[in-house]
Structures are given as C-alpha cells and as structure tokens.
Amino acid sequence: MQPTHTQVAEPATDPVTAQTVTPARALRAAALHLTRHGWVQGSYYDQTAAVFTPAACVVGAIGMVCYGGPVEAPAQHFDQPGWAEFEAAVTHLDRFVSAWHGADSAYGFNDEPGRNAQEVLDVLAEAADVWELLHVSCPVCGEPVYSRPPTDWHMPESWPVPAYSHRDGTPLCPVSGSDGVTPALPVLAGGA
Ligand SMILES: [Zn+2]
C-alpha cells in the first residue's frame, strides 16, 4: 500500500452510513455472493461461467462486491474505484485466517484441500464481526455495533430499516435530527 493511501479515521467522529463499504460490509456482501452464485477453489472465478455473476473464490467474491463485477487479478487494480475497499477487506481477512485458522492467507484458506463452502461463509461472518467489534460503535452509548438489521424493528414500512444494530439486536440509540427521532448512525472508532 502506498503511504498516501493510508486511511486513519479520527476516533468516534466519522459517521458510517448504510452505503459505507467497510471491510466488514465487503466481507458480508462477499458471503452473500458466494451463497447466491456459488464458491470455487483454485481460481478467482468459475472459468466456465458465461454470466456476469460467476461462482467465485473468497477473494474473487470480495473483488465482485468492491469493483461491481468480475475483474482479472483483482489485487492489481490500484487505480480503480473500489481498490482501497478491496485491499482493506482482504488484508483484514488475511490477518483473521492467519491468527485464528492457521492459514497463510485468504487464498490459502480458500484453496486448502477439504475446505468447504460453509467454512468459508462462517469465516467471512466471523471476520466481519471481529472487525466491527473493534471499529464500529454507537455514538450515544459507545457499544460496539454490527452491520445487521435490528431484530426488533417495529417502525412503519416507510421507515428504512437501519443497516446497523447494537450487539443485542436493538436499533442504535435514538437521536434527534431533521427527520425527527431516528436511530443514530454508527461511528468508526480507531483506524481501519
Ligand atoms: Zn447505543
């Protein structure tokens, strides 16, 4: 990574919208891609697929969600929109699988003989949870939050379902704004 690309978030000041592509959001979206379109080993994408949403390996799936489509050698697209998000997500996943699963990298974890798709999905969810536990919090109570819709959301359908919830599934603490009283937007705590 070039020094000019270093992203350092000020503690607890950057609001995170539902659209912000954090490493955790990229990993969860990659899991969704694998669930919907399938998982492969040994290459980024299913080489026989003629569709825009091919089955992918875990790194290929992260590339799909960050670049918006399949690209050759997704780690090499330094100047494309989405590269910083791709790099941050893969770097976090590399660290996670090496610390907790004894793999040398996300590629190695994906391609290990005997690996199955469910193990890959589980690791993506765990890695996303860990990233959010460390980096995203509710600005009111300071609790860590997860990018999962609240489990007890009972507002009328015209209200958008929040992208984030407290760890116990409740919406983020209420704040008053131009739209009235709404759940707070989470904030990034510490660097990426
Ligand atoms: Zn809160």
Please write the tens of the pLDDT for every residue from 113-157. Answer: 999 999 999 999 999 999 999 999 999 999 999 999 999 888 777
Tokens read off for 60: 């290929």
CB under 8 Å, gap of 24 or more: what pairs does 144-152 form?
145/172, 145/186, 147/22, 147/24, 147/25, 147/28, 150/183
Kindly report, residue by residue over 12-60, the tens digit of the pLDDT: 456 788 888 999 999 999 999 999 999 999 999 998 888 889 999 999 9
Task: Calculate how far, in angstroms, residue 144's C-alpha sits from the geometric centre of ligand 1.
Answer: 8
pTM of the model: 0.86
- How far apart CA 135 and CA 128 sit, in angstroms, is 10
Task: Calculate how far, in angstroms, residue 85's C-alpha sits from the geometric centre of ligand 1.
Answer: 26
Task: Calculate how far, in angstroms, residue 142's C-alpha sits from the geometric centre of ligand 1.
Answer: 6
Cβ contact 57:47 at 8 Å:
no
Q: pLDDT-based confidence at 3, cuts 50/70/90?
A: very low
Task: Calculate how far, in angstroms, residue 183's C-alpha sits from the geometric centre of ligand 1.
Answer: 9
